[in-house]
Amino acid sequence: MKKLVVSCAAILSLVACSNEKDLFDSSAIEQKQKAEYSMQFEKQYGKISSNKTWDFTDFSASMTRAASAETRAVLVDGLNFDLNYSVTNGRLFSSMAARSQNKALYDAIKTSLPDGRQHTGVPVVLTAPSNSFTIYPVSVQGAWTHDLYVKVGNGTPIKVYSKTWTDYSHGFVNGEGLKGVYTLVGFYLTQYTDMPGLHVEAPAGTPIEIYLANVKDGRTSKPSVGTFNGQAIYVETEAKPQGIEMHENAIVKYVGIEDNNGYGTDNDYNDVVLAIVGNPEVPEEIKVTDDQYDVTSSVTKRYMIEDLGSIGDFDFNDIVVDVTETTTSTYKRTMTNGVVTANELIGTEKKQKAVLRHLGGVLPFQLTIGSTELPERQGILDKDLEEEYDIEGWDPYANNISVKVKQKDNESVFVIPFPKAGEAPMIIATSETWQWMPEKQSVPKDWFYTDF
């Protein structure tokens, strides 16, 4: 009977060992710990929907839209200028009522681009920001007739207005049917502007050309002038237009155009003045050399990582790394009759780097970003860093980043990839402006997880 008891005990022992063999299986240990992490994560933040993703940047969405977006450029209502001039006893008086809109913009133009101050322009291309922007004609003073065109990418140029009169009008114009008075010092307007603006939506980096075509002095034709040949300059100002909707942080810049690039030009670049209103950014000005120019753009993602050294704090600061891809695209312009007719992409160069910003865990780890495996290193509790590495193969869309972490038993090595949709995350992607959490302080539910 005693032997039977021993035999049963042995059998029970074998069964127990069979059921608990996972205690010595590294893969099983990893799966068990990750399952425990998922359970605790949902306990703190709620059930995860199957389509929940963990990339909180707007890069993927915005770049997808930009790649497939169609360029839109539509005429819209112009700025409203109500600046009345009057003449008394042969002298000019400008009566601007306090109710007049855009007086600050008018004063800024007179200060930034006064008659007689010479400027030197260089050929440039304006490249569209990631947001929309609007171009508003606000002042025309030149003597020559012309048509104002805006060309977006390789699309058909859009004519914003035609100037059909030949005089040196000092002030704001409305394009047709001018009314004014002649004085001893020149011709001055008495009415407000109603020239249209042009609202532009285009993928980031799209080239923008602004120019005057069909420039004539009476019957004598002049060359086209504008951004492409250095006859236009960007002027910065703090004055913002009134009477239009714009982003609260909108940037406004002027483009001043010289309408004569031949004999007798005064180079004051105030013959045509445009206001470009960004929502919030305006097009970037890039210099052109030998009809070539480079457009540089970059994207950065901050990856915040939990190393599974402990479960339940969810501070996502065990490893914090910023990854950046910088792309330089070289374009070749084709000019036909003095006007840009094509912008051809002739070369692209990409560079990638990773910057290790912070360590909040003590476990040894090794990051793999794209096709680059970074050196293995020891974790450090609550340490800010600036360690930079050149990398290759990172895909900002796919978030192909993972980390191998050696666990406390010094034998088990867990592999933590960027999570799939619906999984409890151990890595999240954010903008580089998002600050990681202090030690042992979990990410708040309303920070990342507002859709739970």
Q: Where are the domains of the chain?
A: 29-65+294-444, 70-288
- pLDDT reported for residue 193: 53
Query: What band does 194 get if pLDDT is binned at 50, 70 and 90?
Result: low
What percentage of the chain has pLDDT greater than the value 70? 79
Cα(194)–Cα(82) distance, rounded to whole angstroms? 10
Cα(153)–Cα(209) distance, rounded to whole angstroms? 8
Dmax over CA atoms of the chain, in Å, equals 134
Cα(303)–Cα(398) distance, rounded to whole angstroms? 13
**What is the amino acid identity at position 385?**
L
**What is the amino acid identity at position 236?**
E
DSSP label of 38: H
Give the residue from 204, 82, 226, 248 showing the smallest Cα distance to 146.
226
**Quick check: 130 pLDDT over 70?**
yes
- pLDDT reported for residue 175: 39
Tell me the residue ranges of DSSP E strands in 337-382. Answer: 339-359, 365-369, 372-373
Backbone dihedral region for residue 145 (phi beyond 0: left; psi -120 to 50: alpha; all else: beta):
beta
Peptide bond into 123 cis (omega under 30): no
Is pLDDT larger for residue 411 or for residue 388?
Answer: 388
- Which residue bears the tokens 């036909």? 336
Non-local (6+) Cβ contacts of 112 within 8 A are 235, 237, 254, 256
- pLDDT reported for residue 449: 65
Is pLDDT larger for residue 7 or for residue 115?
Answer: 115
**The pair of three-digit structure tokens given for residue 378, joined into one six-digit string:** 């020891």
pLDDT mean over 174-191: 42
Give the residue from 58, 76, 74, 57 showing the smallest Cα distance to 66.
58
What percentage of the chain has pLDDT greater than the value 90? 48
- pLDDT reported for residue 289: 92
Query: What band does 278 get if pLDDT is binned at 50, 70 and 90?
Result: very high
Angle CA 263–267–272, to nearest 5: 110
pLDDT mean over 101-127: 84
- pLDDT reported for residue 15: 38
- pLDDT reported for residue 99: 41
A 10 A CB-CB count for 363 gives 19
Mean pLDDT is lowest, of 147-156, 227-236, 337-346, for: 337-346
Q: Please, what CATH class does the domain formed by 70-288 belong to?
A: mainly beta
Is pLDDT larger for residue 362 or for residue 84?
Answer: 362
pLDDT mean over 135-162: 88
Is pLDDT larger for residue 98 or for residue 40?
Answer: 40
**The pair of three-digit structure tokens given for residue 14, joined into one six-digit string:** 């074998």
Mean pLDDT is lowest, of 53-57, 180-184, 291-295, 395-399, for: 180-184
Give the residue from 421, 416, 401 showing the smallest Cα distance to 361.
416
A 10 A CB-CB count for 261 gives 18
- Most confident region among 62-66, 178-182, 386-390 by mean pLDDT: 386-390
pLDDT mean over 380-404: 96
Is pLDDT larger for residue 429 or for residue 236?
Answer: 429
Is pLDDT larger for residue 363 or for residue 340?
Answer: 363
Burial (CB count within 10 angstroms: exposed 0-12, middle 13-18, buried 19+), residue 60 = middle
**Quick check: 13 pLDDT over 60?**
no
Residue 189: what are its φ and ψ, rounded to 5°? -85, 160
Is pLDDT larger for residue 153 or for residue 15?
Answer: 153
A 10 A CB-CB count for 233 gives 19
List pLDDT tens digits, range 300-327: 999 999 998 777 789 999 999 999 999 9
Specify whether the CB–CB gap between 432 and 300 falls below 8 A: yes
- pLDDT reported for residue 25: 66
Specify whether the CB–CB gap between 174 and 195 falls below 8 A: yes
Give the residue from 303, 306, 305 showing the smallest Cα distance to 33.
306
CB-based burial, 295-312: b 16+ in 10 Å, e otherwise: beeebbbbbbbbbbbbee
Cα(128)–Cα(276) distance, rounded to whole angstroms? 12
Three-state secondary-structure class, residue 261: coil
Helix (H) or strand (E) holding 232, with range, is strand 232-236
- pLDDT reported for residue 176: 38
Backbone dihedral region for residue 230 (phi beyond 0: left; psi -120 to 50: alpha; all else: beta):
left
Is pLDDT larger for residue 134 or for residue 103?
Answer: 134
Q: What is the mean pLDDT of the chain?
A: 81
Cα(48)–Cα(38) distance, rounded to whole angstroms? 10
Specify whether the CB–CB gap between 406 and 364 falls below 8 A: yes
**Quick check: 184 pLDDT over 50?**
no
pLDDT mean over 122-143: 88
